[in-house]
Amino acid sequence: MAHALKKLLLTFSMVLTSAVTFQTTHAGDPNEIAVEGVTLRFFLEPDRSGTAIARECDNCDPVRLVVTPDMTIYIDGNPNNVMLWDSNLNLGTQKADILYLPGDKRLVKIFLY
SS3 103: coil
Each residue's pLDDT tens digit, 10-36 = 222 222 233 233 444 454 678 899 999
- 25 vs 89 pLDDT, higher one: 89
Residues 48-81 pLDDT 10s: 999 999 998 888 899 999 999 999 999 998 889 9
The stretch 89-113 carries a mean pLDDT of 93
Q: How many domains does the chain have?
A: 1
Q: How confident is the model at residue 91 (pLDDT cuts 50, 70, 90)?
A: very high
pTM equals 0.73
Q: What is the predicted pLDDT for the residue at 58?
A: 83
Q: Which residue range is the domain that position 13 belongs to?
A: 5-112
Can you give the pLDDT at residue 41?
95
Parallel, antiparallel or unpaired: strands 106-112 and 96-101: antiparallel
pLDDT confidence of residue 90: 93
Are 15 and 31 within 8 A, CB to CB? Answer: no
